[in-house]
Homo-oligomer: A and B are copies of this chain.
Amino acid sequence: MIISDNLKMYVQKLRSSNLRPTKQRLKICKFLFDREKTFHFTVETLNKKINKNGATKISLATIYNTVEAFTIAGYLKEILTSKNKSYYDTNIKSHHHFYDEGSKELTDIHSNQIKLSKVPVPPKGKKIKNLEVIIRIQK
């Protein structure tokens, strides 16, 4: 049984997105969202961390399904910055990233740390869905 102050909140959140609050989803919610700071991860790392301890394992397929469902529901943001591998971000506010080519880790850049004083108009008939700055860094 999962115990968390936020359990009820997660149950509601899931229900409001037409997602049944299953053991697996709640465990993943707790793991992802019971934290102060932004969490950036790949499915591989999430799978390892979720299934680290002796606890009942959540299958890899469910990890994939859940991450996709949470992304569609808007609980997670997908970050495409690395070859052949998707990253996900618990910070769903509009913001930017450093991507360290060595450690392959993302770090948040708050929106107010970058100022765009000029932005181009999108092509005719197209709307801006999202604008992201990625700053690749290295030693």
Q: In the complex, what residues of B have CB within 8 A of residue A138's CB?
A: 126-127, 129
Which one of B83, B115, B132 contacts A116 once the chains associate, using CB atoms below 8 Å?
A: B115
Stretch at the interface among A8-16, A27-35, A50-58, A117-125: A117-125
The verdict on A137 contacting B129 (CB below 8 Å), with A98-B122, A113-B118, A117-B117 known, is yes
The main secondary structure of chain A at its interface with chain B is: strand
Contact A80 B78 (CB under 8 A): no
CA distance A100 to B122 in the complex (A): 10
Chain B residue at smallest Cβ distance from A131: B135
Give me the interface of A with B, judged by CB distance under 8 Å. Answer: 78, 80-84, 86, 98, 100-101, 107, 109, 113-120, 122-123, 125-139
23 cross-chain CB contacts under 8 A: A80-B80, A80-B82, A98-B123, A101-B129, A109-B120, A113-B118, A114-B118, A114-B120, A115-B118, A116-B116, A116-B117, A116-B133, A119-B135, A125-B139, A126-B137, A126-B139, A127-B137, A127-B139, A128-B135, A130-B136, A131-B136, A132-B133, A132-B136
